[in-house]
Each structure stands twice: as C-alpha cells, then as structure tokens.
Structure 1
Amino acid sequence: MAWPDLFHRGALLSRLSHHHVAVFLLTFFSYSLLHASRKTFSNVKVSISKQWTPTALNRSVEPVEIWSRNHLFPGAEEATLFLGTLDTLFLFSYAVGLFISGIVGDRLNLRCVLSFGMCSSALVVFVFGTVTEWLHFYNKWLYCCLWIVNGLLQSTGWPCVVAVMGNWFGKAGRGVVFGLWSACASVGNILGACLASSVLQYGYEYAFLVTAAVQFAGGIVIFFGLLVSPEEIGLPGIEAEENFEEDSHRPLISGAENEDEYEANYSIQEGSTVTPIQAISFHQACCLPGVIPYSLAYACLKLVNYSFFFWLPFYLSNNFGWKEAEADKLSIWYDVGGIIGGTLQGFISDVLQKRAPVLALSLLLAIVSLVGYSRSPNDKSINALLMAVTGFFIGGPSNMISSAISADLGRQELIQGSSEALATVTGIVDGTGSIGAAVGQYLVSLIQDNLGWMWVFYFFILMTSCTVLFISPLIVRETCSLVQRRQARVLSE
C-alpha cells in the first residue's frame, strides 16, 4: 500500500507554519467552548429541576413566598419533561440555524460570523441560567424563547470552523488532521463538566455564569486573532499549492465508477483558466456529488451519537443504580473512544485515500459493539471499556463525516476555485444530522418509557445500519476503485 506523499519524510509537518497551528488551536477551542455551554446545561439539570419544583423537604426554600414564586412545576416528572422539551427545541433550532449559517458564512467574513455567534450565545446563556435565577424570575415561555435563540446562535460555530480549517489544510493528510481536530466537541464536553462541577456548590447559576464568561472571552479572541484563509496574509491558498503538485492519487470524494471517468466528469474545462466562483447556492450545494447521501447517513448516525451524549449518564444511573456524579465521570469514556476513533480512522482513510470503506467497516463493528454494550454487566470497569469501544466505532465515524468528509465535499474538483462552498456544504450535512438528532431524543424517551432500554439499543442498531445503507453506493464505488488500483499496481510490478 503506497502512502500519500504528505506522509513521507515528514512532509506534513514541514508544511505547517505557526499560522496553521494558531488556526488549529483557535478553531478547536472556539467550538469546544460552544459545546461546553451545552454540556453545562446537561450537568445542572438535577439542580434546575429541584429549584423549579421546591418541596417541603427542600430546606433551601424556606419562606412560603419564595416557595410559591419558584413553584414552576408541581413535580419532578413535569420538570424533567420540560427540560427534555428544551433539548428538543434547541436541537431543532440548531438544525435550522445550520442551514442558514452555512449560507451566511460563505457570504460574510467567517471570523465575524463565528465571533458574533459565540459572544451572542454567551449572553443568552447568561440570561437563561444566571439572570433569571438572580431575579428569581421563572417563566416557561421565556426559557423556550431563549433556548431557541441559543440554538440559532450556536449554529454559527460548526460551519465556520470547518470552513476555516478547510481553507488552511488540504485534502492530503486532511483525514488525520481533521480526525484529531474534531475531538474539539468531546474536549468541550469534558471542559463543560469540569467548569460546572467546580462552581456548582455555590448554585447552578454560577455554572452558567462561568461558562458564559469564558465563551464570551473566546469570541473576543477569535475576532482579533483568527485568520480565515492564507490569502489574508499573502500566502498561497490550498488550491494554488495543490495545483503545483503532481496528483499521485484521485480525490477522496469520487462520483465516477473509475478514476478515468472521474477525470472526464469532474474536470472543469481542462486546459482553460478556471474562473473563481462566488458563493454557490443552497440548491447547487445539495446537488454536489456525495452531499445528500452523507447528509442522510449523518442524520442517522448523529441521532445515535447525540443520544449517548444526552442519555448516557441517565442510563447508567437508571439502569445500574449508580450515583449521578459517578455516572457523569464514567460517561467521559465514550468521548475518549470517539477522540481516538476519529483520529485513527482519519489516518487510515488518508493512507487508503478513500473515506467510505473505512466508515463502512467501523459502522459494521459499531453494530457489534452496541450489542455488546447493551449486555454490559453491572461492573464499572467492564462498562467503561465497552463504552470506549462503542465510542470508538460510533463517535469516530461521526467526527469524520462532520469534519474531514464535509471539507472534502466542499472542496471537490467540480467547484475548484471556489472557497465559498465549504460553510454551505458543512451546514447542510450537520443541519440534516441535527434534525435526525432532534427527532431521536423524542423517540429514545418514547421507546424507553414504553419498551425499555434494550429496545433503545435495538433502535440504535437500526439507525447505524441505515447509515451504512445510505452511503452504500459510495462504499461499493470506492471499494472497487481500491481493488482496481491494487490490481494495476500488481500488473505494473
């Protein structure tokens, strides 16, 4: 197996300047901070529920006047249901926002859009969790409106950071770079848990305060420090660099039956000068090869991935009777598995120069891991191990589709010369995925209440199988291409 040129003689490292490192770190931590605020909300749900449903046993609410003012719900079940409703509203507004943010990001300055989203979202989180508690003002409609607005504002993050990364890092080596970089969501989950737990003893409002303050500061840093593209400082863009090199392999996103057909179908007026394309329309982005299959596949996969994100601590406490704090700490192993899986699978896809076959193998093994995890014994060590394996095979492909593959789709030869497609394509892929995740949260609670946790895992297995089904044409095509390449190499030897 011939490795890409970028892996030989340290070529990848030799191409990285301090600007590349700065862009990597700034985009990484900007999205980590956005995810941290989401995780904070998940971590303080128990405290919020207690504050909204004070009882005679709640000694923190002694005067009758305060009890009446805080009595937003008659019981914990109603409060929990409303918190789940807020999750669903957030995900739906986040999904709609992703479609809009992708289009906006390709037409406005990515740095400004990202900074605005981070700072504005921080203010909304501050009002939602801190101001309302300081003023003892509890209103269901206000909470719903604020969380819908927060979803729209947070949606500016992912399309913008993927587009900026795509501007700086070319397709050669993109799998391993984006695989490592896509760990930003998992790091954000861990960061949010740490920030919330560090101040939760003073009241849940301080968890929101700290998270919002850090996120707002991050938005200011992004506005003054992030370079959107190499052209901003006079460096050649990714496309210009790649055009000077001999292309020793075919593009990772391929729409033809073989490589010769790819050259015929995806070359834009070979031998002529390519006119730079302005931001492409939403319809044009949807029609790009691979966008719809990967979007539908990601809707199924993100449903499973986000179900683990929202429900794993609850499942551990509910199914095994473990304490909430212990369940929160144990759930981190799923994120650890996703980080390792995304990086390793991205590296393998770079070596193979194909993404779909790597995804297919990982998803098939994910089905096996889901079966194994659903039958985990009441042992924390074994559960953590099975959880990490499950995260490896589910979180890894999820990270690949949302980052490296989205960047591949937004920089196909079909639209070469246009950097104004990355955010739009990323918004379509992640937006479709978020719709699936939003629907999934309701279905998971419905299935669990009526049929039990084992049927929830059967549902996860079905959705993972649908993920493979949606990209099966790409899997077959790219696998055949690998076989043909191997046969050609054998014949030439």
Structure 2
Amino acid sequence: MRSLAPGIKLITSFSRDSWYRFFILILTFVFYTTYHLSRKPISIVKSQLHRNCSNVIHPADLNITDNDTWCDWAPFDKNNYQNLFGVLDNCFLVAYAIGMFFSGMFGERLPLRYYLSSGMILSGLFTVLFGLGFYWQIHSLWYYCLVQALNGLVQTTGWPAVVACVGNWFGKGKRGFIMGIWNSHTSVGNILGSLIAGVYVSSSWGLSFIVPGIIIASAGVICFLFLVEKPEDVNCTLPQHHESVEQEPLLRNSSSNEEIFSTNTSTAVEPEEDHTEAISFCGALRIPGVVEFSLCLLFAKLVSYTFLYWLPLYIANVAHFDPKEAGDLSTLFDVGGIVGGILAGLISDYSGGRATTCCAMLIIAAPMLFLYNKIGQNGLPTTIGMLLWCGALVNGPYALITTAVSADLGTHECLRGNSRALSTVTAIIDGTGSIGAAIGPLLAGLISPTGWNNVFYMLIAADVLAFESIMVYNIEVRGWCGYTTRQRGFKEI
C-alpha cells in the first residue's frame, strides 16, 4: 500500500471537530483584527491634523494667511488641539463604554452571526464617513465627534460576540494558551491599522480611514456567510467547561495534533436546545471574581488605550519623527503586546493562577514605564527594546483578563451549566475596562500640555491601582489558603 503524502497525513490527523474549531478560531481572529484595524488610524492621523508648518513645503500658488497653522486641518489648528484630540477620542470611548454594558445582554438574546455581521458593516460605514470628511472639506468638530460616537457604539458588538463564540467552541483545558494566541488579533489589528494609515497619512489622510472601513465591512459580509455560533449547529462535540473527577479528557488517547482544538470535549454529539434563561446583569455581578477583574481591567485598559491613541504623537513630539515614521515605530508596542498576551496565557495555564500572573506583570510594568519615559528615546535600539518590553507588560494582563479570565467567569461552576452568561460577563468586564479606556486618553489630552512626564506619572499610578485591585481580593491566594467562594457569601446562581 502506498504511503500518503506528508501534507495529506497532516490534514487527516485532525478530526472533523478539530477542523471546525480551527476554522472558528481563525474566523473570529480575522473579525476582531478588523475591529482594531479600524480604530487605529485616528492615532496616526493626529500628527497630520496638527503639524509644525515651518517644516512643510507649501505650494507656490497657495495664499497663506497664517504662517503658523496654514498646513493644519481645522478645527485642530488651534493651540488647544491636544484637548480637542482628547475630546475626539472620548466621543468614541465613552460611547463604547456605555454601549458595552447593554451589548452583552443583546448578544445573549440575538443570533451572534447577525449581531456581529451587522456591527462590522455599520462600523465600516462610520469609519468611511470619518475619512470622507477630508474629501468633503468638513471642518466641524461636531461632525467628527458624532461619527466617532456612533462608531464606538456599534463597535461594542464585537468583543462580547467573538468571545462568546470562541467560548462556545473551546473547553477550559488550554484556554489561556489558546486565547493568548488568539487575542493577538488586538495587536495585529493595531499594527495593520498603523501601517495602512501610514501609507496615506501624508498625502490623503481620508484614505487612512476609508480603506480600513471597507476592510471591516467586507469582514462583516464574510461573517454573515460563514460564522457557526455553536458546535451543535454542525453536529460537533460540545466542549466541557468544568473539570470533573469522573471524566478524563478524551485527548489522553488521541493524537497530539488534535489536543489543542479538542481539549476537554464530551462525547455527546446530539444537538440540544438550550432552554436556560440568559443571566441578569446583577446575577453576573454575583459571580466570584467579576467585580475584582472588572476593576483591574479599568486601570489596565486606561494605560493600554492611552498608548493606543497617544503613542505616535508622543514619539513624533519627543523623538521628532515624521508622522509615518512615528506610526511605524509605535507598532513595536503592539508586537510586544502579542508576546505578552501569549506568555500570560501560557503561564496562567500551567500555574493555575490567572490573577497572580496579572499581578506579577502589572507590578513589573510600573518601573518599566518610568524607564521608557526617561531613557526610551536615547537611540533607536533603546527605543525598540523599551517599546517591546512595555507592550508585553502592559498588554499581557489586559489580554488575559479580556479573554481567558472572561471565558472562565462566564462558564463558572456556580452557574450550574448555564452557558448563556458568557456574553454578559464579557461585556461587564470589558465595559468597565472601557471606562478606563475613555478616561486615559482624555487625561492624556488634558495633562500633556503640562509635559509628557506628568502623563507617564498618571499611567504609572493607574498601573499600581490595577495591581491593587486584584491583590486586595486575590481569589487564588485565598483558595490556596483554603478560603472558598462559599465562605465569601456567594450562592449558586
């Protein structure tokens, strides 16, 4: 008998269930990559909307009435442009934070495929409308604020939906590692968004928004055509979300290739109608750990989103790079975030300590932020190294909480098999974090005129508060000391 080709052997070594899980993982990865890809251009374009016009060569036929601001884009040609940028960021982030608390409840009650695809198409529309302001010569702050607010509102469809979908397909066994890799979509989206926006920022900055808008809208169409919400919809095995003494993982006797996509699955393949009711908002808050991790994410996301929206401008102002170079260099922060997210997930899987992993990375991040501000611009190699380290330490806990931790809490044992809490829990945690994401860039806009040092002191303080939010209520330490959740007064929901 002839031996099969190596490629065919590899393909056939995976089961049908494994291929579906791999397909869903890739699909949701692409979807949320496009969400962040469409958010990033505003941070790149800021340095183009308000420039140092003395360094810009103007056309000979242009009648210049103000030599200081002739090349700027009104209304951002004023001295308070940093405050205006902060307001612009806040319109998106406040709408996102408010909408997120409702988005999770909608996600539990509506088909995820329709909910996610409509959100991406609408987000693409509003992103394009922002870019069209360049071609329509719109100089009204209200127009850009309105478009940003509407975009922030529809982008809340993304995170609860994709986490719920991945949580439906994957069990708890290697969730931290799988989601650590999967969560790199955030950084990949930021990187691609920076690179795409950088291509057009110096010539026609409107395209820096229009191209990402078309991309996310196209992804919405793909979502409508291909997304499978639950394994039972295609007769695949259901994931086992809770460890059981009586039940051994199926993978003990299966190939290692299938392990990562079939961890802790049950043998039941029969589709089953889910008659459990979606959990209430207050019921989700009673799940042990939801409040603690929500507060931690508030401060962690404050730091991460301040870098997301202000790092290119900081690099341009302090290191005197042009807008494209500053945008390209800022992507190193997201490269470090990819590594940090994967390491956080891997360490938490093997240690069994999600909160402890977050605490360790947060406490190291504080002095690293201080060093970056002091020596981060002392030569290109130092800048690259510091950006990678800061990205890993800042985004590692953020990635872990928004993925593996949210999925763990949304399938907590106190829910007694009710799987319809995942989207609501994810929305509560990320919605609380989004409050910090709204506060951070706004504070940066208000503080930066007094000096970038003060901005970094604010970020360090937020990082310490994130550490303390978990440390005061460290569930794992209490568990290691024999202090159970029942002793904390929680009841089964």
SS at 1:336's partner residue?
Answer: helix
Alpha-carbon distance in structure 2 between the residues aligned to 1:411 and 1:127? 39
Q: CA deviation at 1:288?
A: 1.2
SS at 1:431's partner residue?
Answer: helix
2:477 is the alignment partner of 1:479: yes
Superposition map of 1:57-76 within 5 A = 58-59=58-59, 62=62, 72-73=74-75, 75-76=77-78
Q: CA deviation at 1:155?
A: 1.1
Deviations 1:134-173 (A, max 9, x none): 3334433222222111100011111111111111111110
Q: CA deviation at 1:389?
A: 1.1
Superposition map of 1:102-181 within 5 A = 102-130=104-132, 132-181=133-182
Q: CA deviation at 1:303?
A: 0.4
Q: In structure 2, what residue type is equivalent to 1:300?
A: F
Q: CA deviation at 1:240?
A: 7.7
Q: CA deviation at 1:31?
A: 0.9
2:320 is the alignment partner of 1:321: yes
> 8 Å contact 2:96–2:156 — kept in the other structure?
yes
Give 1:295's aligned residue. 294
Q: Could you tell me which runs of 5 or more consecutive residues in structure 1 were left unpaired when the two chains were aligned.
A: 1-11, 249-274, 485-493
Alpha-carbon distance in structure 2 between the residues aligned to 1:460 and 1:358? 20
Distance 1:278 1:334, change over 3 A: same
Q: In structure 1, what residue type is equivalent to 2:286?
A: C
Q: In structure 1, what residue type is equivalent to 2:468?
A: L
Distance 1:72 1:202, change over 3 A: closer
Distance 1:80 1:481, change over 3 A: closer
> 8 Å contact 1:317–1:324 — kept in the other structure?
yes
Distance 1:388 1:354, change over 3 A: same
Alpha-carbon distance in structure 1 between the residues aligned to 2:361 and 2:463? 10
Q: How well do the aligned residues superpose, as a CA RMSD in angstroms?
A: 3.1
Q: How many residues align?
A: 442
Q: CA deviation at 1:414?
A: 1.1
Alpha-carbon distance in structure 2 between the residues aligned to 1:325 and 1:200? 7
Give 1:25's aligned residue. 26
Give 1:446's aligned residue. 446
Deviations 1:287-333 (A, max 9, x none): 21111111111001100111111121222222233333332222212
% identity of equivalent residues: 37
Q: Could you tell me which runs of 5 or more consecutive residues in structure 2 were left unpaired when the two chains were aligned.
A: 1-12, 250-273, 483-493
Give 1:347's aligned residue. 346
Alpha-carbon distance in structure 1 between the residues aligned to 2:367 and 2:242? 42
Alpha-carbon distance in structure 2 between the residues aligned to 1:174 and 1:444? 35
> 8 Å contact 2:183–2:399 — kept in the other structure?
yes
TM-score by length of 2: 0.82
Larger helix proportion of the pair: 1
Q: In structure 2, what residue type is equivalent to 1:117?
A: G
Alpha-carbon distance in structure 1 between the residues aligned to 2:98 and 2:61? 39
Q: CA deviation at 1:57?
A: 7.3
Give 1:36's aligned residue. 37
Give 2:94's aligned residue. 92
Further displaced range: 193-202 or 426-435: 193-202
Q: CA deviation at 1:49?
A: 4.5
Further displaced range: 330-339 or 318-327: 318-327
Superposition map of 1:204-223 within 5 A = 204-223=205-224
Distance 1:236 1:143, change over 3 A: same
> 8 Å contact 2:277–2:420 — kept in the other structure?
yes
Q: In structure 2, what residue type is equivalent to 1:246?
A: Q
Superposition map of 1:136-285 within 5 A = 136-200=137-201, 202-239=203-240, 246=247, 277-285=276-284
Give 2:329's aligned residue. 330
SS at 1:155's partner residue?
Answer: helix
> 8 Å contact 2:201–2:323 — kept in the other structure?
no
SS at 1:204's partner residue?
Answer: coil
> 8 Å contact 2:177–2:345 — kept in the other structure?
yes
Alpha-carbon distance in structure 2 between the residues aligned to 1:355 and 1:220? 36
SS at 2:79's partner residue?
Answer: helix
Q: In structure 1, what residue type is equivalent to 2:158?
A: G
